[in-house]
Amino acid sequence: MDVAYLPQTKCIVNFNSTHQHPISVLSRISISNSRDYENNHRRFLRRGARNMCLASSSDTLVNGKSSSPLVSSKKDKESEEEEDVKSWMQKNGLPPCKVVLKDRQAYDSRHPPIHYVAASEDLKAGDTVFCVPNSLVVTLERVLGNETIAELLTTNKLSELACLALYLMYEKKQGKGSVWYPYIRELDRQRGRGQLAVESPLLWSESELNYLTGSPIKAEVIERAEGIRKEYNELDTVWFMAGSLFQQYPYDIPTEAFSFEIFKQAFVAVQSCVVHLQNVSLARRFALVPLGPPLLTYRSNCKAMLTAVDEGVQLVVDRPYLAGQSIVVWCGPQPNSKLLINYGFVDEDNPYDRVVVEAALNTEDPQYQEKRLVAQRNGRLTIQTFQVKVGKERETVLDMLPYMRLGYVSDPLEMQSVISSQGPVCPVSPCMEYAVLDQLATYFRERLAGYLTTLSEDEALLAECDIDPKKRVATKLLRCEKKILSRCLEATTDLIKQLPDLSISPCPVPYAPLLR
């Protein structure tokens, strides 16, 4: 998980929190109003100088020294012999289930083998394979001790992921004293590598991000990283408002206790394994479920989901399994760009994959206001996003044409005709239709030219055996995007060939729509 390689804090003073079961502590503590906490905060800070905590950089939790995260130490090997997460769960209330934990080698040979959930017996579709009790599920309601304050924080300054990451970081400071120690150790072992592939691009170096050149995902990763930085800067607010964390660690102000890099690692690890539960309160919708991801494998064409029931979170399989087979669950209707950012993998058979085309009416057009009204009447915006879904490329191009035609109308009389008519804008003239299609074709060609490699070069690269794992998964993503864009270009070219007179030239238009 890399909640990760945190230096263990050795305290002179015992705050009497580690002797209490964390779950019972969280369930008993209530949240006072913010004024009370502000007063408590001042008192704690005045007393803080008398109760200093000493940190040892040589003593770390769970997985060895942060300076060498990929090198197995004696402590690492000893930890492998400790109680696994499933045995821990069984001792703490997990009912009999139909799964076992097995090992398989990670793509990167420098990492230890990864645990995964497999069927312990032959299963049929509709079987309930496990039900994790609520006492072993981490939600914001548990972390913050109060449903109202959980909803307040996550609808204003902080995301659910930031709150959950902060909680696990504090729990990790307790080491084996934390009830969640076996689960945190399992997340550390996984290191946020979804699907046995790689870490999220949010943890890649600048040179590794260059593998994604040409894809919009590169800018999205940078933007998301900046968002995580902003959340880090707000962590003290969570610590101050959350009764459970505040009372257990009154002197460990988050931004002083944890560096940004450690927080980002924890954030990404939580992101890779959090489960989105349906039909529950907002404070319970994001949950960390032992035996859930990353021990379960995500699959886009699967329909099995972790679901909330009265007694906990259960999994009912959607297909038969033989004993020993890896069990898969649905990851939701996410495109490959989201799968890579959130979980570190790309599903090349993803039926929900898509690329985005953004079109906008030209604001310098003298008839912009009239066109804006026509667009709104037809359910479009002045800046309109078109989702080009895999296998639906031609349909999306056809769907874009009325919007593009509207931008090309320049004659006032034609504009009046468009305003008075109902429905989408129809072709006005062959030369204008040619101009619209020509702009689209040029746009798709330019996007394809923005990649550093061609489709054929991607195929050759993926055929190599010793390719860097991050480069491999990045190339898979780019290949999927290029295939969609290439089919868009092909559909547009076919429509140009169907025009009645190919000898004409595209109409010149001073205020053509903008494509991005």
The string of pLDDT tens digits covering residues 86-129 is: 899 999 999 999 999 988 776 666 667 788 899 999 999 999 99
Q: How much of the chain exceeds pLDDT 90, in percent?
A: 52
User: Can you tell me the distance from the alpha carbon of 259 to that of 253, in angstroms, rounded to the nearest whole number?
Assistant: 11
Q: Does residue 196 or residue 54 have the better pLDDT? A: 196
Q: Does residue 137 surpass a pLDDT of 70? A: yes
Q: Does residue 243 or residue 143 have the better pLDDT? A: 143
Q: Does residue 335 surpass a pLDDT of 70? A: yes
Supply the mean pLDDT for the chain.
81
Average pLDDT over residues 296-305: 91
User: Can you tell me the distance from the alpha carbon of 340 to that of 353, in angstroms, rounded to the nearest whole number?
Assistant: 12
DSSP secondary structure of 119-184: ESS-B-TT-EEEEEEGGG-EEHHHHHS-HHHHHHHHTTT--HHHHHHHHHHHHHHTGGGSTTHHHH
Q: Does residue 200 surpass a pLDDT of 70? A: yes
Label residue 302 exposed, middle or buried (CB < 10 Å: 0-12, 13-18, 19+): middle
Across 56-70, 79-93, 271-285, which has the greatest mean pLDDT? Answer: 271-285
Decide if 86 contacts 94 (C-beta within 8 A).
Answer: yes
Buried b (16+ CB within 10 A) or exposed e, 76-91: eeebeeeebbbebbee
The string of pLDDT tens digits covering residues 253-268 is: 889 989 999 999 999 9
Q: Does residue 468 surpass a pLDDT of 50? A: yes
Q: How much of the chain exceeds pLDDT 70, in percent?
A: 78
pLDDT of residue 118: 95
pLDDT of residue 63: 38
- Whether pTM > 0.75 for this model: the answer is yes
Beta bridge partners of 114: 104
The string of pLDDT tens digits covering residues 348-400 is: 999 999 999 999 999 999 999 999 999 999 999 999 999 999 999 999 999 99
pLDDT of residue 197: 65
Q: Does residue 145 surpass a pLDDT of 80? A: no
Decide if 271 contacts 196 (C-beta within 8 A).
Answer: no
